[in-house]
């Protein structure tokens, strides 16, 4: 009996050390959800975007500090009035089938997004291009503002100056592709080797890729829907890099994996939105009472273990070049009580995190005499209720499509974007509209930032949102991964530079 126990003990000790690795050429990653599509024109979620960025290239791209770098284009000129963009393509960029990437391919890739049959919801990326509206409506066969004068040059003319345009061209949707019989070929560092739906996606090195830094022969994405299972797989060394939410972070921290954590500020804002078309939320003073009733610092401390940054404006501070204002000091919670003649409907989606946040908010409001009814809907039903304005308030987050303060102001608060276009609170303020329109067209970066700040101040003053917090991005990286960089945008990681050591 004692001997058996001894054998069992030895077995336990030696079997406990996992993480034996015989494949040093494959990077193992986790997908929490299967991407719905890998078609750049249709991709709208982070899972598809992250993979598309590795199998496709765009004219320009972002580095890990959000600086714009050349990708397919080796250089570009922007006219002084900010209306004309001329891109010069690199001459050695090839699709993974070996054919050269020409200016005509760039033009076709962009046109495809605007074609009605493509059913892309990213048409707004090119809405400022001259003739785009006519092309979308089917009145013309070509976009007048997009020309390829020779093989290596593409000229894009805008109807008016639009400063974020260059950033938008780095989005995965603006990938340069080649279509043949519904097959999409890319020119990125990797290409798709296998897509076993529901199980895994395997990328392999694109032999035709001319850029530097592709050190992995393969990237293997495993579909692991359950967070707990993913953590377990990481602990067994079967996942190299794992994105973490806060419960996963806590679990790994307890298990002693703290040394493997990386984090950086995320480009997102969590908020409570008001229905600005409905009483009493059509009045900024009333909105402020609601906003100031919430002690976000307490929520951050007790729900998030201080792992998120409090938000004092809709724009993540990094996009307004920090050192902004003393908003933090202006933020004083109210203690006055008010009374309304009806309870208010707070709409949230069905996640545990949202539920606990909503319940705490409910508690804070109740302390000020405000009654709240929480309505939970699944993600899809939630979005529908949002678009149909079936709420008094809701809790949601906004994540950057591209790193520009405009992305946190124009879609979300401009009066022309009510409903599904982003302004779900149906906020409208002529002064703000004028400022943000001016900012979008301002080519001077300093002046533009100042306009953004002014516009942001209006939003803060008007409080169509209760600004809650900016989440940080966290991930855990195995010790054998070398030269790992954490990117602030899910699509700026092209899977290059990273290595596995023996």
Partner 1 sequence: MKNFIIRRLVLAVLTLTAIITLVFSLTRFIPGDPVYSFVGRRADSDTLNRVRSAYGLDDPVPAQFFCYIGQLLKGNLGYSYVTGQPVGKLIIGRFPNTLKLALTAMVFATLTGLMLGLLSASNPGGAIDRFCVLVSISGISVPVFWFGLILIIIFSNLLGWLPSSGMGNFTYIILPALTLGTRSAAYIARITRTSVMEVMGENFVITARAKGLSRNRILFKHILKNALIPVVTLIGVDLGSYLNGSVLTETIFGWNGVGNLALTGIMNRDYPLIMGTVLFGSFIFICANIIVDISYSFFNPKVTYE
Residue 42 engages partner 1 in binding (rule: CB under 8 A)? yes
Q: Which of 81, 92, 104, 384 binds partner 1 (CB under 8 A)?
A: 384
| Cβ-based neighbours of 55, under 8 Å, separated by 6 or more | 38, 96, 186, 188, 189, 190, 191, 192, 203, 206
State the Cα–Cα distance between residues 81 and 385, nearest whole angstrom.
Answer: 42
Residues within window 106-165 making contact with partner 1, judged by CB under 8 A: 116, 119-124
Between CA 312 and CA 296 the distance in angstroms is: 10
Considering only the stretches 13-21, 299-307, 347-355, 485-493, report the one whose residues sit in contact with partner 1 under the rule CB under 8 A: 13-21
Q: Which is nearer to partner 1, 338 or 421 (CB)?
A: 421
Q: Which residues is 70 bridged to in the sheet? A: 60
CA distance 187 to 90: 12
Q: Does 17 bind partner 1 (CB under 8 A)?
A: yes
Specify the 3-state DSSP secondary structure of 155: strand
Does position 45 interact with partner 1 (CB under 8 A)? The reply is yes
Q: Does 179 contact partner 1 by CB under 8 A? A: no
Of these, 199, 250, 279, 444, which contacts partner 1 (CB under 8 A)? Answer: 199
247 near partner 1 (CB under 8 A):
no
- In the complex, what is the shortest distance from the CB of residue 129 to partner 1, in angstroms, rounded to a whole number? 15
Per-residue CA distances from 247 to 244, 254, 358, 372, 479 (Å)? 8, 11, 18, 27, 22
Q: Which two tokens stand for residue 227?
A: 């967070």
Binding of partner 1 by 5 (CB under 8 A): no
| Rounded-to-integer distance, Cα 163 and Cα 360, Å | 40
Residue 229 binds to partner 1 (criterion: CB under 8 A):
yes
According to the binding rule CB under 8 A, does residue 426 interact with partner 1?
no
Pull the structure tokens for residue 476.
């855990």
- Contact by Cβ (8 Å): 51, 203: yes
Nearer to partner 1, 189 or 403 (CB): 403
Quick count: other Cβ atoms within 10 Å of Cβ 450? 14
Using CB under 8 A as the binding rule, whether residue 377 contacts partner 1 is answered as yes
Q: Which ranges in 131-245 belong to alpha helices (H)?
A: 132-136, 165-168, 227-235
Number of residues that bind partner 1 (CB under 8 A): 53
Using the rule CB under 8 A, give the single segment among 71-79, 225-233, 343-351, 362-370 that binds partner 1: 225-233
Give the x-and-dash track for 388-417 against partner 1 (CB under 8 A).
----------x--x---------x------
Name the residues that contact partner 1, by CB under 8 A: 12, 15-18, 33-34, 36-37, 42, 44-45, 116, 119-124, 196-200, 222-226, 228-230, 232-233, 235-236, 238, 377-381, 383-385, 387, 398, 401, 411, 419-422
């Amino acid at each position: 009996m004692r001997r058996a126990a001894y054998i069992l003990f030895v077995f336990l000790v030696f079997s406990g050390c996992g993480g034996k690795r015989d494949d040093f050429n494959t990077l193992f990653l986790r997908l929490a959800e299967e991407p719905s599509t890998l078609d750049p024109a249709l991709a709208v979620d982070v899972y598809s975007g992250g993979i598309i960025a590795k199998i496709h290239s765009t004219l320009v791209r972002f580095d890990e500090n959000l600086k714009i770098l050349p990708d397919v284009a080796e250089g570009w000129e922007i006219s002084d009035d900010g209306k004309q963009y001329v891109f010069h393509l690199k001459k050695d960029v090839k699709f993974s089938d070996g054919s050269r990437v020409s200016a005509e391919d760039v033009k076709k890739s962009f046109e495809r997004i605007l074609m009605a049959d493509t059913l892309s919801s990213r048409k707004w990326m090119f809405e400022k291009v001259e003739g785009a509206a006519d092309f979308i409506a089917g009145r013309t066969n070509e976009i007048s503002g997009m020309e390829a004068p020779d093989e290596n040059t593409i000229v894009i003319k805008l109807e008016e100056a639009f400063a974020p345009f260059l950033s938008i061209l780095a989005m995965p949707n603006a990938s340069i592709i080649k279509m043949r019989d519904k097959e999409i070929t890319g020119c990125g560092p990797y290409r798709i080797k296998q897509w076993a739906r529901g199980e895994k996606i395997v990328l392999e090195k694109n032999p035709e890729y001319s850029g530097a830094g592709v050190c992995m022969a393969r990237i293997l994405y495993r579909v692991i829907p359950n967070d707990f299972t993913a953590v377990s797989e990481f602990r067994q060394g079967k996942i190299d890099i794992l994105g973490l939410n806060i419960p996963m972070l806590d679990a790994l921290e307890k298990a002693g994996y703290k040394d493997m954590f990386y984090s950086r500020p995320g480009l997102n804002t969590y908020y409570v939105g008001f229905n600005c078309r409905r009483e009493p939320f059509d009045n900024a003073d009333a909105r402020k009472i609601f906003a100031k009733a919430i002690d976000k610092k307490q929520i951050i401390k007790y729900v998030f273990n201080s792992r998120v940054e409090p938000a004092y404006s809709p724009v993540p501070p990094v996009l307004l070049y920090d050192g902004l204002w003393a908003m933090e000091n202006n933020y004083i919670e109210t203690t006055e009580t008010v009374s309304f003649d009806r309870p208010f409907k707070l709409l949230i989606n069905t996640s545990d995190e949202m539920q606990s946040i909503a319940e705490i908010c409910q508690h804070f409001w109740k302390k000020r005499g405000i009654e709240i009814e929480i309505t939970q809907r699944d993600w899809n039903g939630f979005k529908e209720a949002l678009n149909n304005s079936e709420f008094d308030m809701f809790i949601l987050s906004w994540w950057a499509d591209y790193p520009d303060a405009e992305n946190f102001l124009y879609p979300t608060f401009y009066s022309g974007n009510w409903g599904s276009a982003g302004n779900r609170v149906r906020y409208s303020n002529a002064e703000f509209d004028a400022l943000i329109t001016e900012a979008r067209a301002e080519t001077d970066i300093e002046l533009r930032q100042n306009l953004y700040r002014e516009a942001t101040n209006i939003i803060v003053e008007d409080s169509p949102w209760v600004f809650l917090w900016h989440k940080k991005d966290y991930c855990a990286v195995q010790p054998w991964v070398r030269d790992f960089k954490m990117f602030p945008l899910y699509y700026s990681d092209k899977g290059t530079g990273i290595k596995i050591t023996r």
